[in-house]
A = this chain, B = another copy of it.
């Protein structure tokens, strides 16, 4: 598709675009075959609407939940509906007083090339125009905001404490570890494979990183956390959490942000009971939903952006090119074959 600026009132505007729709409802992790790419007309703009050209589509673990039938955070994406996702793009035509051509926006516009919006599905205008627009889906987007509030509001780390991070090299985990270090904590990363272990310490500045795929994982983690664990950023549940829990200190804070290691909740998996750990240590285990901090989004971005500019907060992006890469992109996340924030870049 040529890189022209479409205009709803011009003959140069694209009249059709492509989008990724949910073809069938998966049980568990959505695979490529659960999606279909379709071509459809772009609706004409009405008063109060504007057209966004999506330059970047987000791929997030949570999207698995958005297509499952089970009651969850929000209604499931309907069959034949555009796959819900965050996107970053540019306003290319507007009949809305609040949005002008050229405005960079981040919102929930879905896996499609263009989107007509009335503003209700826009999260923010992207004002950090000195930084790449894609960051608004990653370290300056939900990932960074999640890391910031999950750590500071629920983890409540104090300088000198030990913070353990699962999915330590991931888009959220790597930010959690680096923010914890900025706040004066000792940081221990848990990740899979020698490459990611190296990246954790060399790139993301963890004091130590431990490989959960290693046979000696439990011993290595206990050694790395000889003084106990004060904050555990839990993005995995499962065996990794089971190894961390016995190491927690008095009044530890466990922030549950994800359950990446659990492929399926039907049947509901079992594990070692947590009650006694929590009781004996007067510890806290708490689920974090970033939506609860939606009203404080700009506060977090205002903290994160200067850290990114100064190089104290590093990030990795994994760019997939073209809408064709979307259908398999969530499954790929759960295969663990990515490193960094996974983003689909659309050429227009």
Contact (A273, B237) CB under 8 Å given A278-B285, A279-B256: yes
- Nearest CB of B to A198, in Å: 29
Contact (A256, B273) CB under 8 Å given A284-B284, A284-B285, A285-B286: no
Contact of A73 among B73, B241, B280, B284 (CB under 8 A): B280
Residues of B within 8 A of A259 (CB): 275-276, 279
Contact of A285 among B274, B280, B282, B292 (CB under 8 A): B274
Tell me, yes or no, whether A302 is within 8 Å of chain B by CB. no
Residues of B within 8 A of A271 (CB): 270-271, 273
CA distance A288 to B278 in the complex (A): 8
Assess whether A286 is in contact with B280, with CB atoms less than 8 Å apart: no
Assess whether A287 is in contact with B278, with CB atoms less than 8 Å apart: yes
Residues of B within 8 A of A257 (CB): 279
- Nearest CB of B to A84, in Å: 17
> Closest residue of chain B to A261, judged by CB?
B275
Residues of B within 8 A of A258 (CB): 279
CA distance A259 to B241 in the complex (A): 20
Residues of B within 8 A of A238 (CB): 273
Contact (A72, B280) CB under 8 Å given A237-B273, A256-B275: yes
Q: Which of A239-274 contact B (CB under 8 A)?
A: 241, 256-259, 262, 265, 268-274
Assess whether B288 is in contact with A276, with CB atoms less than 8 Å apart: no
- Nearest CB of B to A108, in Å: 19
> Closest residue of chain B to A291, judged by CB?
B282
Tell me, yes or no, whether A283 is within 8 Å of chain B by CB. yes
Assess whether A234 is in contact with B275, with CB atoms less than 8 Å apart: yes
Assess whether A262 is in contact with B276, with CB atoms less than 8 Å apart: yes
> Closest residue of chain B to A286, judged by CB?
B284
CA distance A282 to B258 in the complex (A): 11
Residues of B within 8 A of A288 (CB): 279, 282
- Nearest CB of B to A154, in Å: 9
Residues of B within 8 A of A303 (CB): none
Assess whether B272 is in contact with A270, with CB atoms less than 8 Å apart: yes
Contact of A268 among B268, B272, B279, B285 (CB under 8 A): B272
- Nearest CB of B to A111, in Å: 23
> Closest residue of chain B to A154, judged by CB?
B284
Residues of B within 8 A of A237 (CB): 273, 275-276
Tell me, yes or no, whether A17 is within 8 Å of chain B by CB. no
Q: Which of A273-313 contact B (CB under 8 A)?
A: 273-289, 292
- Nearest CB of B to A67, in Å: 15
Residues of B within 8 A of A285 (CB): 274, 278, 284-286
Assess whether B241 is in contact with A275, with CB atoms less than 8 Å apart: yes
CA distance A279 to B273 in the complex (A): 17
Assess whether A287 is in contact with B282, with CB atoms less than 8 Å apart: yes
Assess whether B287 is in contact with A286, with CB atoms less than 8 Å apart: no
**4 further A-B pairs in the complex, CB-CB below 8 A; given A269-B272, A282-B288:** A237-B275, A262-B273, A282-B287, A282-B289
Some 27 contacts from A to B, beta carbons below 8 A apart, are: A72-B280, A73-B280, A237-B273, A238-B273, A241-B275, A256-B275, A256-B279, A257-B279, A259-B279, A262-B273, A262-B276, A269-B272, A270-B271, A270-B273, A271-B271, A274-B285, A275-B287, A277-B287, A279-B287, A279-B288, A279-B289, A281-B287, A282-B287, A284-B287, A285-B285, A285-B286, A286-B286
